Amino acid sequence: MEPRRPSRAVIDPKVRQVGFITPNAPPQQPVRTQSYPPESNSPPLSESPASNSLSPVMIPPPRHLSDNLTAYRTPAVPVPESSRRRAEPAAVACSYDPSESLFGTSSPAPSPLASSRLVVDGEFSEESWFKKSDSAKFASSFPGGGFDLTTVKNVGVAAAVAAKKPAAVSGNEKSKASGAESKNELPSGSGSKTSKVKMTKSERRSLQESQRAAKGGNKSAGASSSRAAKQPQQKKDAAPAPPSVAASEKKGTDRPPEKERKKDVPAPRMQFDDKSRVEKAKKRAVVNQTEVRNRVELFRHLPQYEHGTQLPDLESKFFRNDPMHRAVYKVGLQYLAGDITGGNARCIAMLQAFSEAIRDYTTPAEKTLTRDLTAKIGSYVSFLIECRPLSISMGNAIRFLKNRIAKLPLTLSESEAKTSLCLDIDRFINEKIILADRVIVRHASTKIRDGDVLLTYGSSCVVEMLLSHALELGKKFHVVIVDSRPKLEGQSLLRRLVANGLNCTYTHLNAVSYIMHEVTRVFLGASSILSNGTVYSRVGTAAVAMVANAFSVPVLICCEAYKFHERVQLDSICFNELGDPQAVAKVSGRGDVNYLGSLGNKDNLQLLNLMYDATPSEYISMIVTDYGMIPPTSVPVIVREYCRDQLWI
């Protein structure tokens, strides 16, 4: 790293990389997880092999607005865009070929930045990213309002050329991500052209305040939530998680200044033993739910409703388009019925429902699009929470969407705004989930050797993709699927893997000590990874990781980076989801086991059906994400540097 510093200092002295290098992967592959050599566009720095000698853990610092403009003047360099999450401003911004994407087919003139609010820079980079991945189609719908980046054009061209390679997409994601990260400063080469771009954070904040004051006494929940949503934009920290939408809505109106001051603490989630909050939430509830009678004391802070009572009521309301768009309603019902499970599937379904709802949306008279739409999204989210509490991945996606809505330039027409949002959603899905999964699979399959016995628990879509991919690569290995009650998700995984031709062993969680003697690696999926390295995933994962640790078997978690969260959790009780208690008492498929059939709702007997648990970080050997293969201790680094607030890269 040292030798590079002097040359890098010209452009950006503080470039750091994060992630481990996979030494065998050729540098030009779009494997996102390559360590990102901090080179900028200057040619001497751009060789990837050289980067391998760099220290593997280097983190790009957040950029400032003022930093980057000079960099844009540099000529195009053959940026090894393939898999570098480049931090330097110039390279990053340039690689997207912003001029082409922004102004290719849409509004030709650089829309005056004066009219656009905040982080057009972020948008800009995102558009260009998007252009890279899918070329003209998206660019045509770009609402404009970007920079005029003619200066960076040449750099962009080089990158665009490279972008033709399909692999480049993930590389672009990364560069876009880093570009987006630097959106704070990003005004790109256009600094000279647009005056507004160079706002620092404080300037933006003051602008926001003035705008908010101008909107004055609009006390609607939408306003408060949009305000609350906007507040986090200005802070360095991520907004409170969507499960606390209710909380933020309540708090947004009365505490904006405090939020700005308190930087690092996400708002606490709604605790269900707080009677007043529960009452308020119930009043706004769409779904009529009755609470379970026999609650486990330890979990009084979590909601628990009788299952089976909500569906008929909801089904009768299905065809009314108000208050709930039908797509969102459908997704909510699917969650309630358990038809859609798994973090990625739920997130994608929700985002697609929102996309449809946005397309059908029309702004009511005398309301602004951003605020009203944010309020509407907020109400959809509340409905989904009532159907089934949000997963952390969904929460992050909602924050992204609200952020995108809030950052819409005011000059856009309604249709343009809606299209832009839908495109954003598509991009999020493509980039954060689908492509991320591909990257993870590619990395993790390097960890599978011939003759391995791999163990997995439950059914994780990423692990399933990984095993199929490794099979396609021709590796010879054996799979052990560990399953547990009451969901018995492993059975569906077993079916699909056997259909693919894999040799599988199937067993139940209690037998994991028996089978662990023969296992060489454990691959697990996660619902989320928290900032203290704790893995929050399906209940039982912690037991599997613990037994693997006791037998000295490495445990690898495969998790997309959008699921990371800055929350921390020590054990599984602080935050969890309670499922249907009757599912514990009733054993499906085993008619002989019906010991509790007659007990009904006895006072002394409580049934507890936890859905998630928290695996301590010391049991985890490595986490494979789309940012690379990282140890659990690096998760807060990724959260802070890459998944900030609105960056969402």
Partner 1 sequence: MAGLNLSAVSDDDDDNDQDDHPVLSAAAVAAAARSTLRPPSLQTLLEDMPDPAAVPHTSSSGGDSEEKSKSADKSSRSRKLKHDVIEAVNELIEDIDTCHEQIAEQAVEHIHHNEVILTLGSSRTVLEFLYAAKEKKRSFRVFVAEGAPRYQGHLLAKELVARGLQTTLITDSAVFAMISRVNMVIVGAHAVMANGGVIAPVGLNMVALAAQRHAVPFVVLAGSHKLCPLYPHNPEVLLNELRSPSELLDFGEFSDCMDFGSGSGSPLIHVVNPTFDYVPPKLVSLFITDTGGHNPSYMYRLIADYYSADDLVLQRKAAASN
Contacting residues toward partner 1, per CB under 8 A:
296, 298, 483-486, 491, 494-495, 498-499, 501-515, 517, 538-540, 542-543, 546-547, 550, 571-573, 576, 584-585, 587, 589-590, 593, 595-596, 599, 602, 604-610, 613-614
End-to-end, the C-alpha distance of the chain in Å comes to 25
Query: What is residue 129's DSSP assignment?
Result: H
Closest approach, Cβ 430 to partner 1, in A, equals: 33
Cα separation of 334 and 337, whole Å? Answer: 5
Question: Judged by CB, which is closer to partner 1: 207, or 587?
Answer: 587
Contact 456, 480 (CB under 8 A): yes
Place of tokens 């000059």: 411
- Angle 288-610-547 (CA atoms, 0-180°, nearest 5)? 165
Residue 310's nearest CA partner among 384, 395, 244 is 384
Place of tokens 């009452």: 279
**Residue 215 neighbours by CB distance under 10 Å:** 13
Question: Judged by CB, which is closer to partner 1: 333, or 488?
Answer: 488
Query: What is residue 632's DSSP assignment?
Result: G
Question: Judged by CB, which is closer to partner 1: 455, or 623?
Answer: 455
Cα separation of 224 and 266, whole Å? Answer: 17
Q: Crossing angle, helix 326-337 and helix 343-359, to 10 degrees? A: 160
Closest approach, Cβ 598 to partner 1, in A, equals: 9
Closest approach, Cβ 107 to partner 1, in A, equals: 55
Contact 521, 458 (CB under 8 A): no
Question: Judged by CB, which is closer to partner 1: 319, or 595?
Answer: 595
The CA distances from residue 314 to 326, 332, 350, 383, 530, in Å, are 12, 9, 18, 11, 34
Question: Judged by CB, which is closer to partner 1: 536, or 627?
Answer: 536
Closest approach, Cβ 584 to partner 1, in A, equals: 6
Closest approach, Cβ 274 to partner 1, in A, equals: 21
The CA distances from residue 367 to 210, 374, 375, 407, in Å, are 18, 11, 11, 16
Question: Judged by CB, which is closer to partner 1: 9, or 599?
Answer: 599
Closest approach, Cβ 472 to partner 1, in A, equals: 17
Distance of CA 501 to the CA centre of its chain: 32
Cα separation of 321 and 12, whole Å? Answer: 52
Category of 187 on φ-ψ map: left (φ > 0), alpha (ψ -120 to 50) or beta: alpha
Closest approach, Cβ 478 to partner 1, in A, equals: 9
Question: Judged by CB, which is closer to partner 1: 333, or 504?
Answer: 504
Closest approach, Cβ 470 to partner 1, in A, equals: 16
Closest approach, Cβ 167 to partner 1, in A, equals: 34
Closest approach, Cβ 602 to partner 1, in A, equals: 6
Question: Judged by CB, which is closer to partner 1: 430, or 507?
Answer: 507
Peptide bond into 257 cis (omega under 30): no
Cα separation of 545 and 188, whole Å? Answer: 46
Question: Judged by CB, which is closer to partner 1: 417, or 611?
Answer: 611
Question: Judged by CB, which is closer to partner 1: 90, or 614?
Answer: 614
44: Cβ contacts below 8 Å, ≥ 6 apart = 7
